[in-house]
A and B are shown apart, each in its own frame.
Chain A
Amino acid sequence: MNPIPRSLRLLALSFMFMLAACQPSDQDGGTADAVPEDGIARSITGAGASFVYPVMAKWSSDYRTSSGRQVNYQSVGSGGGIAQIKAGTVDFGSSDAPLSSEDLLASGLAQFPSVIGGVVPVVNIDGITPGALRLTGPVLADVFLGKITRWNDAALVELNPDLALPDQAITVVHRADGSGTTFNFANYLAKVSADWKAGPGEGTAVRWPTGIGGKGNEGVAAYVQQVKGSIGYVEFSYAKQNAMSHVALRNAAGNFVEPTSESFAAAAESADWQNTADFDLVLTDAPGADAWPIAATNFVLVHRSPKDASRGAATRAFFEWIYANGDAEAAALDYVPLPDALVTRIQEYWQATLDN
């Protein structure tokens, strides 16, 4: 009589029970599509740079606790983030390299900084402690160009008369994948070395004249730790968490500085944000007296007129919350929160460019 076998009916019934059991935790997703009364979507999605993933994850979990709204961030890399926000498949993208004003205008996007970090050259030489080795930008470029090949090279000895530098070959370690870390590092070398600018140049991936490539910050960190006499570059947090020997760099003002939250903040404060449209500014080689020369900004990309206004409003609310409440989390994860003056500037920029 009954066309559905008994076993199937039982199965369907058990499924219904399972769905019912899942209901409470599903609530956020369930109501996300409908426009809520306050005009702010309950759930938004972002994608982009892996550099900000740790702090984004922390921020979104804290934000959910305090506001009940959900932010999903996919760490797909800067390139993927730019592609996805342009295609409109996410509510915000993030990139370690800024887009130009023309590019932003052409795709209807607005751009603003989210958080500041730094790229740190790290070395593995026996007896050299963190911060002991001093380098200048041009010397660092010559090492990565393969022009300086041994640690007891005259140029290195001249900068470090007090150190016992070994007669050891230098092994350069760079990123094998395209990355925002490389973008900032190569950008700095191009600013301080004409040879670098004419040779490998700038970009998220360049043609390295020498050395070995590691995948991701963790890959570079692992190679530097495994190979004696090596030098690489990683995000500050990787250097700190792995207790690697960072170098002290001479900045544009002529002072030797170590990578610290203070020196990153000094770079952000001294940068000329006033005269820059759409925050299209790379923080490297900043003029401040205490500025770390390879400080880096992460940029957020949003649509100026999002298709779904409630999602645009939710994105803006999330970043408002970050600037107001996210500083401690960022600092705990070795990022540097934006200076207050810059936040004010961003809020003015929102007023001027965003529809909502």
Chain B
Amino acid sequence: MSAAAPATSSPARLAAVARRERRDIRLDRLFRTVLTAAGLLVLALLLGAALSMLWGGRETLATFGLDFFFTADWDVGARRFGALVPIYGTLVSATIALLIAVPVSFGIAVFLTELAPGWLRTPVGTAIELLAGIPSIIYGMWGLFVLAPILGQHVYPKINDTLGQLPLIGLLFHGPPLGIGMLTAGLVLAIMVIPFIASVMREVFLTVPSRLKESAYALGSTTWEVVWDVVLPYTRSAVIGGVFLGLGRALGETMAVTFVIGNAYALSAALLEPGSSIASTIANEFAEAVDPLHRSSLLALGFVLFLLTFVVLALARLMLYRLKRKEGL
């Protein structure tokens, strides 16, 4: 920069330019430091949260060791704590949620980007974003007061009589038709994560260049072929990212699940039976956890949830990495 104006250079002017340069370097360095600090803060927060939960749960882990993760006994009075039921409940309810939410979200996104008339796209798109903003306790109350009675009186008895009679699958679909339990929790979670997954999918489907789609249509492709062979491969990594965003939310959802999961510590394959999740257990018991071992067990549960979420995200990364490598070959 200083070399740009040699004609008018004088000692004073040169000094001014040098001063300016030094100031730029200083500011640049400051800017860099601030940004690095912001980046590191995230890491520090993450590590701090994980470690403080691990530290809080050290008494439990020292008492029960690895048994904590693999036993199904949760007895506050007898001071025996095993996290298997909440872990199982968390994984199963989140899996049910994704099994329902992913296809539905995909449908919503394809409809909005490929099929819907122009005047409908914006209102429906906005409605989805509004749904994402509803507090989870509202979903919980709706689940308990509206969905659960309908399921308990009209849907689950029929499931019991049909699916429940089949071999093997029947084990999943029998149980008391209370309307409250693992399947209801999965259904409510599905409704809660659909807006997240659908809005991500819609955004990324919009980024597909129209010349690609138009070429495919010109070659005689059906809408389904365009979506499956052009749109989806083009946006695959972002779609997977959206699904895992939804999964992360389903794993950690607290209030809505607490309302409808039934909060029982019985390990059962049946999806109609009540169960409990990690987040619901913590929400239910933390306020009255006076016994240090009890409190420690709840913190250890928090750490388990942290680990679960971390593993899920790591799997997502791995999947994306594999996909990228396959595309590269």
Using a CB–CB cutoff of 8 Å, the interface residues on chain A facing chain B are: 76-80, 82-83, 169, 171, 176-179, 200-208, 211-215, 219, 222-223, 226-228
Contacts and interface: CB of A to CB of B under 8 A. Distances in A.
B263 interface: yes
Nearest to B73: A207
Interface string B75-111: 1111000000000000000000000000000000000
Interface in B252-297: 258-259, 262-265, 274, 276, 280, 283-285, 287-290
B284 A202 contact: no
Interface in B158-182: 176, 178-181
Contact of B290 (A79, A219, A226): A79
23 contacts: A76-B287, A78-B288, A79-B290, A80-B287, A80-B290, A82-B290, A176-B263, A176-B280, A177-B287, A178-B289, A178-B290, A205-B77, A207-B76, A207-B77, A211-B274, A212-B181, A212-B263, A213-B262, A213-B264, A215-B258, A219-B259, A227-B179, A228-B153
Given A207-B77, A226-B144, A79 B263 contact: no
B285 A177 contact: yes
Given A76-B287, A212-B274, 8 more contacts: A177-B284, A204-B288, A205-B77, A205-B285, A208-B265, A214-B263, A215-B258, A215-B283
B290 A215 contact: no
B310 interface: no
Contact of B148 (A211, A215, A226): A226
A212 B262 contact: yes
A15 B152 CA distance: 57
A79 B291 CA distance: 9
Contact of B263 (A206, A213, A228): A213
A228 B76 CA distance: 29
Nearest to B288: A178
A82 B289 CA distance: 12
B145 interface: yes
Contacts of A207: 73-78, 265
B143 to A, nearest CB: 11
A201 B77 CA distance: 8
A226 B152 contact: yes
A199 B290 CA distance: 22
A95 to B, nearest CB: 10
Contacts of B76: 178, 203-207
B262 to A, nearest CB: 4
B226 to A, nearest CB: 46
B263 A202 contact: no
Contacts of B125: none
A178 B74 CA distance: 13
Contacts of B153: 228
A335 to B, nearest CB: 21
A226 B180 contact: yes
Nearest to A207: B75
Nearest to B141: A222
Contacts of A171: 176, 178
Contact of A176 (B149, B152, B178, B284): B284
A176 B255 CA distance: 13
Return the 3 tightest CB-CB contacts between A and B, nearest first.
A178-B288, A213-B263, A176-B263
B77 A226 contact: no
A208 B262 CA distance: 13
B264 A212 contact: yes
B144 A178 contact: no
Nearest to A216: B284
A180 B179 CA distance: 28
B287 A77 contact: yes
A79 B286 CA distance: 10
A215 B74 CA distance: 17
Nearest to A169: B176
A213 B180 contact: no
Contacts of B290: 79-80, 82-83, 178
Contacts of B264: 208, 211-213
A206 B285 CA distance: 12
B152 A205 contact: no
A222 B288 CA distance: 21
B157 to A, nearest CB: 11
A98 to B, nearest CB: 15
Contacts of A205: 76-77, 285, 288
Given A79-B289, A223-B180, A215 B149 contact: no
A177 B179 CA distance: 21
A241 B264 CA distance: 27
A308 to B, nearest CB: 26
A134 B233 CA distance: 67
A23 to B, nearest CB: 36
A228 B151 CA distance: 13
Contacts of A82: 290
With a 10 A CB-CB cut-off, give which of A171, A200, A227, A228 has the most chain B CB atoms. A227
A223 B144 CA distance: 8
A177 B262 contact: no
B288 A79 contact: yes
B77 A203 contact: yes
Contacts of A177: 284-285, 287-288
A233 to B, nearest CB: 15
A51 to B, nearest CB: 12
A15 B192 CA distance: 43
B250 to A, nearest CB: 20
Contact of B149 (A83, A201, A213, A226): A226
